[in-house]
Structure 1
Amino acid sequence: MHQRIVNTITNIEIVIYMILMIVLTFVTLFSLYELIAIVSYDLFYDETPFLLETMGILSFFEFFLLILIGLELMDTIKSFIETKKIEVGIVIILAIIAVSRKIIVIDPATATEFELIGIGAIIFSLTVGYYFIKKADFLRAEN
């Protein structure tokens, strides 16, 4: 009886992950479509292209990195469905991309020194963590 309940809960989790994967796929595809539409319109139809200005380039990178975050989330969910384990390396890469996105769109004129130091500390911590995870994977593979 106990094993049957655990199996039922596991099956429900898998269904939820599959639904999340489908929704995330649609959102990521729609975001990619929007990015292509915005860039196409701006470059081919707008008389004064916004993308050629600094803020336009930053907006493009913000949107681009948002799509990368969606792809990394999809990879995380796919990996969990296949292995039943959360890959910490993928989660750290996702966090690094998210923080990098924040750095790209931050306005240095309004950001305080503490915010910038905090973001730097987060990136340093994530990078060191990723390094140690990869080093542990490498050492485990050697044994």
Structure 2
Amino acid sequence: MNNILNIVKHIEKSIIFILIVFLVAILVVSVVDFGLYFSRLLFYSSLEGWYEPEFLMPLFSSFLIVLIGIELLETIKAYLKDDSIHVELVILVAIIALARKIIVLDYSTMKPEKLYGLAGLILSLSVAYFLIKSAGISMKLRKKSSVDQK
């Protein structure tokens, strides 16, 4: 039985390693895409109106996508290293993803109920992150298995 658990553990580590490789590839492509988009805006278009939302929104969106990817990579690396899920990193990824969603929203077509829901999500995630950080602890969800107990 212990051999089977060790095999499963090895397969799990291999899958996580493959996910890291794919995520790094996605991040590299995203950074290149961000750089190309930014350079096109900077060098090949008129800088008139650069402060307009239509000009900046795709740039912010691409930047935040890269940031979300980096935080996801940190979460997966922490899981691989400690064999546990770091709750504060997961909450941070959710906050960044939600911030990206809010930044690129078209408020003219949004229903107020959806905006209230997003505000509630921001508030609850922020409070959770604050409580975890102010407690000075690193909350980890550790998997229990008979391999860990022996």
Q: What TM-score does the superposition give when structure 2 sets the normalisation length?
A: 0.86
Please name the residue that 1:95 is paired with: 94
Distance 1:28 1:14 in 2: 21
Contact 1:42 1:49 in 2 (8 A): no
Please name the residue that 1:53 is paired with: 52
How many residues are matched? 139
Contact 1:72 1:90 in 2 (8 A): yes
Kindly report the root-mean-square deviation, in angstroms, between the aligned alpha carbons of the 2 structures: 1.9
| Aligned positions of 1:1-143 closer than 5 A | 2-47=1-46, 51-138=50-137
Aligned residues with identical type, % of pairs? 36
- The amino acid of 1:13's aligned partner reads E
Please, which runs of 5 or more residues in structure 1 have no aligned partner?
A: none
4+ runs deviating over 2 angstroms: 46-53, 135-140
Distance 1:139 1:12 in 2: 27
Contact 2:132 2:138 in 1 (8 A): no
Please, which runs of 5 or more residues in structure 2 have no aligned partner?
A: 140-150
Contact 2:20 2:76 in 1 (8 A): yes
Distance 1:3 1:139 in 2: 30
Contact 2:37 2:59 in 1 (8 A): no
Contact 1:21 1:77 in 2 (8 A): yes
- The amino acid of 1:122's aligned partner reads L
Distance 2:48 2:24 in 1: 30
- The amino acid of 1:121's aligned partner reads G
Bigger share in helix? 1
Q: What TM-score does the superposition give when structure 1 sets the normalisation length?
A: 0.90
